[in-house]
Amino acid sequence: IRVAVPKETLEGECRVALDPVVAKRFAALGCEVRMEHDAGAGAHYVDDDYEDVSFVTDKAELLGNAEVILKVQPPDEDEINQIAEGSIVVGFMSPHRYPERVKLMRDRRITSFAMELIPRISRAQGMDALSSQAAVAGYKAAIMAADRSGRFFPMLTTAAGTIRPAKVLIIGAGVAGLQAIATAKRLGAVVEAYDVRSATREQVQSLGAKYIDTGVAAEGEGGYARELTEEEKRKQLEVLAKHITQSDAVITTAAIPGRPSPKIISKEMVDNMKVGSVIIDLAAEGGGNCEVTKPGEDYVYGCVRVYGPFNVPSMLPVHASDMYAKNLLNFLTPMIKEGELKLDWEDQVIKDSALTHDGEIRHEPTRALVE
Ligand code: NAD
């Protein structure tokens, strides 16, 4: 099986779909791994770091002569046109953002698997790239908050006086939020957190943070949150407003699958925040959890530093790539039998994550959107 890894083309994308350790594992499975020259450079991997991999500069030739192509970002139109018909491409696909690419993959009879569509069942945990990348983002968010704060996070007792620890509030305690809590705790902050799913209470507390009870619970389907009613929103915000205005840093991660990010922090709340406080809005790609977030920008609103970063996992490219590559390996290993690709279309993981196959769009919501 010929596996190809091109250099990512999206501006600012530093990750690579294959790190040297996982490359060896693919080779051990009997794959012939080829990569584009310098594909790992953004993640600080040079070609020589990869054993059992050959490097090429001709990208069209690379993509045209592979059965499996590994990507981080969705393949762009040039790449799709270079991939041989009938080949498999695996990566994040963002179908709602790139419907034209989905159509092109359909028309070129490419089998595309979207990492974000892998079902979150226990058996597929090792393939869950949403989780691995969210963990990276949560960690980095806490670091970014500390970096932009004019205050220490930890308590310090020094000859020059005693410093009180910073108060950090995390809104949304999913995978990213929990990692942000753990990281802010390690930095010594006093951390409190809130999520609409009451199941997170225990998880928050087990990390040594305080859980804020707003009296609103909204467990939705499949362990995700559902959208709140107007009355629930009002109740939630009333309680949260007090905590937000008392915080030195607020990190927001709240998301609802298939919906724009819920607006939780209003302009008035930011107006009432402490001078020099910080908001890191990890939901910026979905519009943001804060009314004054300018997606992609890092700026000062009044006396509050507000940052809604894009593509946070790419800011920690080494480990984000390592974890992502492992997710890909775990996804593809069951399909590789005796050096041959065998796709079991009865397997829920394969069925759910297939975006296009055999000239069709297999993912219903995408088909409804595109066709
Ligand atoms: P996500 O990125 O979709 O959302 C982040 C968090 O925001 C969620 O915890 C959600 O409850 C919360 N949220 C939504 N609206 C909110 C609001 N108005 N106010 C406050 N918080 C709000 O979620 P995620 O981190 O990808 O995962 C969420 C769930 O999926 C978790 O229960 C997680 O344990 C579960 N999960 C399961 C598996 C598995 O079993 N394999 C893997 C990963 C995640």
Is 86 touching ligand 1 by the criterion CB < 6 Å?
A: no
- Asked whether the beta carbons of 341 and 66 are under 8 A apart, the reply is no
Distance from the alpha carbon of residue 145 to the mean position of ligand 1, in angstroms: 21
Mutate to test the pocket of ligand 1, among 132, 244, 253 (most ligand atoms within 8 A of CB): 253
- Asked whether the beta carbons of 255 and 277 are under 8 A apart, the reply is no
Alpha carbon distance 91, 71 (integer Å): 5
pLDDT, tens digit only, all 371 positions of the chain: 999 999 999 999 999 999 999 999 999 999 999 999 999 999 999 999 999 999 999 999 999 999 999 999 999 999 999 999 999 999 999 999 999 999 999 999 999 999 999 999 999 999 999 999 999 999 999 999 999 999 999 999 999 999 999 999 999 999 999 999 999 999 999 999 999 998 999 999 999 999 999 888 877 777 787 888 888 888 888 899 999 999 999 999 998 877 889 999 999 999 999 999 999 999 999 999 999 999 999 999 999 999 999 999 999 999 999 999 999 999 999 999 988 999 999 999 999 999 999 999 999 999 999 88
Buried b / exposed e across 223-239, counting CB within 10 Å, b at 16+? ebbeebeeebbeebbee
Mutate to test the pocket of ligand 1, among 127, 197, 214 (most ligand atoms within 8 A of CB): 197
Distance from the alpha carbon of residue 148 to the mean position of ligand 1, in angstroms: 26
Active site residues: 120, 125, 128, 131, 224
Look up residue 265 and give its two tokens: 């922090």
Mutate to test the pocket of ligand 1, among 175, 233, 237 (most ligand atoms within 8 A of CB): 175
- Asked whether the beta carbons of 24 and 52 are under 8 A apart, the reply is yes
Is 172 touching ligand 1 by the criterion CB < 6 Å?
A: yes
Count CA within 13 A, CB hemisphere, residue 75: 33
What is this model's ipTM?
A: 0.94
Q: In what order do the strands lie in the sheet with 360-361?
A: 53-56, 32-36, 2-5, 68-70, 88-91, 111-114, 354-357, 360-361
Is 264 touching ligand 1 by the criterion CB < 6 Å?
A: yes
Distance from the alpha carbon of residue 311 to the mean position of ligand 1, in angstroms: 18
